[in-house]
């Protein structure tokens, strides 16, 4: 089996969104995906891209993705944030996730980041075990917070 890792392209987005939906199903939240190919195109390939990605290609089919963006830590400086790393279920366990993760780590160094951060669900043991192999530090002290667009409008009375 031979796969390649390359930078994602605009024409990859329909397949990328399929993989995002597959991940959402695995994470028991398929109803939470409201992103569209058009939004991803604007946000990743428009005049002010806010994310980048790598794709894993096997037999001319995208079987995995790594989506990242930059964030800034007042304590650490420029960081790479790994939003998602996804390998389609049928291709897991073949080194594709490792290759995507390694390429993303390399990108963090190439772009002058002081490190990379990400989140993992506390019940996702395969992912947790994968990250442990890298010596990742797990932080149980922080609580995730978010407000959706409708929540923000309600709070601001817009």
What residues act catalytically? Answer: 131
Hey, is 141 helix, strand or coil?
A: coil
Q: Which of 64, 52, 76 is nearest to 130 (CA)?
A: 64
The radius of gyration of the chain from alpha carbons, rounded to an integer in Å, stands at 16
Are the beta carbons of 19 and 64 closer than 8 angstroms?
yes
Beta bridge partners of 64: 56, 87
Sign of CA dihedral 102, 103, 104, 109: positive
- What lies within 8 Å, CB to CB, of 37 at 6+ separation is 13, 14, 17
Are the beta carbons of 91 and 62 closer than 8 angstroms?
no
Q: Which of 94, 80, 101, 86 is nearest to 24 (CA)?
A: 86
């Amino acid at each position: 089996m031979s796969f390649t890792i390359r930078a994602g392209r605009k024409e990859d987005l329909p397949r990328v969104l399929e993989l995002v939906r597959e991940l959402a199903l695995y994470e028991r939240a398929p109803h939470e995906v409201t992103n569209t190919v058009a939004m991803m195109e604007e946000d990743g390939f428009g005049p002010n891209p806010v994310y980048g990605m790598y794709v894993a290609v096997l037999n001319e089919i995208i079987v995995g993705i790594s989506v990242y963006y930059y964030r800034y830590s007042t304590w650490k400086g420029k960081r790479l944030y790994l939003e998602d790393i996804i390998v389609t279920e049928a291709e897991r366990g073949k080194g594709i996730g490792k290759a995507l993760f390694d390429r993303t780590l390399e990108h963090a160094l190439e772009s002058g980041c002081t490190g990379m951060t990400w989140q993992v669900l506390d019940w996702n043991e395969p992912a947790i075990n994968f990250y442990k192999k890298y010596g990742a530090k797990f932080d149980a002290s922080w609580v995730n917070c978010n407000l959706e667009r409708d929540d923000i409008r309600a709070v601001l009375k817009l």
